[in-house]
Amino acid sequence: MDRVSSFDEPLKKLLGGATAKVMAEHLDLHTVGDLLHHYPRRYEERGKLTALADLPLDEHVTVVAQVADARILMFNNGRGKRLEVTLTDGSGRLQLVFFGHGVHKPHKELLPGRQAMFAGKVSVFNRKMQLAHPTYQLLDASDADEATEAVDAFAGRLLPIYPACKQLDSWRIAKAVDAVLPSARDAVDPLPASLREGRGFTPLPEALLKVHRPQTKADVEDARARLKWDEAFVLQVALARRRYADTQLPAAARRPVADGLLDAFDAKLPFTLTEGQEKVSKEIFDDLATEHPMHRLLQGEVGSGKTMVALRAMLTVVDAGGQAAMLAPTEVLAQQHHRSITEMMGELAEGGMLGGSDRGTKVVLLTGSMGTAARRQALLDLVTGEAGIVIGTHALIEDKVQFHDLGLVVVDEQHRFGVEQRDALRSKGKQPPHLLVMTATPIPRTVAMTVFGDLETSVLDQLPAGRSPIASHVVPAKDKPHFLARAWERVREEVENGHQAYVVCPRIGDDEEEKKGKAKKKAAEEDPDKRPPLAVLEIADELRKGALAGLTVEVLHGRMHPDEKDDVMRRFAAGDVDVLVATTVIEVGVNVPNATAMVIMDADRFGVSQLHQLRGRVGRGSAPGLCLLVSEAHEASPARARLSAVAATLDGFELSRIDLEQRREGDVLGQAQSGVRSSLRMLTVIDDEEVIAAAREEAVAIVAADPELEHLPELRTVLAALLDKDREEYLDKG
């Protein structure tokens, strides 16, 4: 068998159809290579054989003993079954106990006189030592040597515990691994020899043997260090090759023009840009001036002025004869951006219109719900080049939308925006347009290097002058109901002082949900912890009748008609609405400087980053902000600890780290990054920062010296296997 193909061998050839089917369906394991990369989650130490007379309490032990007797006992008026087995080894006696469905197999096998090995944790019941539900292996007394060998193999080893499923337990996975383990010898080692030796890594075949069948804890450490490095390194090489390939693509350089739109805009600004904005703008302008496409990620705290930086980049491109498109994840946000950009630009956004500036351009909005006539006009303005800037939702990427000369794409909140869509938009230019991706979710450095590794990163970490501090407090509604009453008084005080407030709820709520919710309601009455999350429509109703009676309370949620949403947002922005009760549609980009207070209901139902995003909607003006996190979670619960962390700091990077530690990679990397996620088995993005940073450095050096990896055929082979079609596309579109 050649070296590569044994890893590609389908599991059903070696394990039989039934086991292979369960592995494919429930564990996503299809080939020998997949199974060899299905690493143990942890290892049990069975310990050396222990005499029954010397059993230590509360420790995992392995004993070899003979069954003295076994009996089934009924309890709970005959509804429950218990199998009790007494063992003896000449030094003492030990009781085993099995319950429920677990009694059938041992009852048939553990007959008086049979000898077996048993492993489990020693406990005391009725003043007797016992093992509950031990694992065991029968020994065939006919062959003494074989029995001795089996005992040594069973007792002396670290026992790997695999990620398993209901249909296939860890024992059976371990047996399957035994069947494919000889193929580990054929593993293609992706690391250049000089790198492997320089860093003192174990060869890959040995690492695979050690991770699955370690003799010692040092074996496990060796194997993990090597396998982690491989994952980080292969991924970083893939990303470095993407970045290199991007530098080979052609793009039109878009250089600033003196006395153009940008200069006219800067001259109108009523404030000076922060140092951070100046620095990041320079990085972007330098990228735009090159003849290959910019790929930049702009991270900035909520309210750090990312939109201003992006707008100046768009104006530069318009000055240079191109067009710029800004993509927002929701219609509310697209409308909001359109409104704030046209306001910031004033007459410069009315190019070609009466009263517009002769240096101006048209700024058009394009969303799915626009009327036919307005849509037709917007499409016409794009294709003729009349509109230099377009702001829209995913509707911008439909086939019908044609640009005159698309030079820059700005994507807001990329994690809500699939890579396919970025790709589709990119194909709208005569040549690939420059790409700027913005996010207000601070991303820890390691995640940025892993998930957005094909983008250069800029960070805006200063807040513009005039932003106010935000005080945050947890309101324990269950333990201290009077705190919640006080929260509503605080909202009323803010409104009386001429300000406005948001109330955020996890769900919308309506009649349809009511019907579905009857069963839930019944369950909730039986167990208050299971009540459904609070809903916008119900809370708005309660507040109008109760705590906030007399104030103008309006609702905003995703099921409203876009015109309706826009109308509510306009009236809220104009100050005609005192309190806006909303879902998380306000999470990103909504900018009302006069809104100073926010009450988040059932705050424990939101993630850390999401709470931080929501909180960033207040304190956007000169008055201080207030954010109240209302929760019924128990004081000692992890949910409350999470809320306390949010209340304790306004540093988004610190919070994103806490978030990642609590949720681990899966949720954070999100579905759009599944290509990356499914290739990370040993590496944890949060704990292995040094590994990732070092691997990135090595990868960049290797790709710079040999972009096609001509001198590293093994690395090329492993990359091809990792980047199966989906992942290759994922990286291409990144």
The rounded mean pLDDT for the chain is 82
Residue 191 pLDDT > 60: yes
pLDDT-wise least confident of 5-19, 210-224, 699-713: 5-19
Question: Which of 302, 330, 309, 297 minimizes the C-alpha distance to 266?
Answer: 309
| Structure confidence at residue 3 (pLDDT) | 42
Q: pLDDT grade, residue 527 (50/70/90)?
A: very low
pLDDT-wise least confident of 9-13, 576-580, 688-692, 719-723: 719-723
pTM value is 0.65
Across-strand partners of 71?
84
* Angle separating helix axes 331-345 and 306-319, nearest 10 degrees: 70
Kindly give the pairing relationship between strand 362-366 and strand 387-392.
Answer: parallel
Give percent of the chain above pLDDT 70.
83
Give me the mean pLDDT over the 559-574 stretch: 87
Give me the mean pLDDT over the 636-652 stretch: 84
Give the integer Cα–Cα distance in Å for 697 and 172: 40
| Structure confidence at residue 266 (pLDDT) | 92
Residue 159 pLDDT > 80: no
Q: pLDDT grade, residue 669 (50/70/90)?
A: very low
Give me the mean pLDDT over the 629-640 stretch: 86
* Angle separating helix axes 608-615 and 638-648, nearest 10 degrees: 40
Give the integer Cα–Cα distance in Å for 409 and 251: 13
Residue 567 pLDDT > 80: yes
| Structure confidence at residue 4 (pLDDT) | 44
| Structure confidence at residue 27 (pLDDT) | 87
| Structure confidence at residue 711 (pLDDT) | 92
| Structure confidence at residue 140 (pLDDT) | 65
| Structure confidence at residue 254 (pLDDT) | 94
Segment 121-150, tens digit of pLDDT: 888 888 888 888 888 878 765 555 666 666
Q: Where are the beta strands (DSSP E) in 254-330?
A: 295-300, 323-327
Yes or no: say if 438 and 310 are a contact pair by the CB < 8 Å rule: yes
CA of residue 131 relative to chain centroid, distance: 41
Residue 675 pLDDT > 50: no
Instruction: Kindly state the tokens that stand for 470.
Output: 């935000």
Residue 5 pLDDT > 60: no
| Structure confidence at residue 661 (pLDDT) | 67
Give the integer Cα–Cα distance in Å for 340 and 623: 20
| Structure confidence at residue 143 (pLDDT) | 55
| Structure confidence at residue 309 (pLDDT) | 94
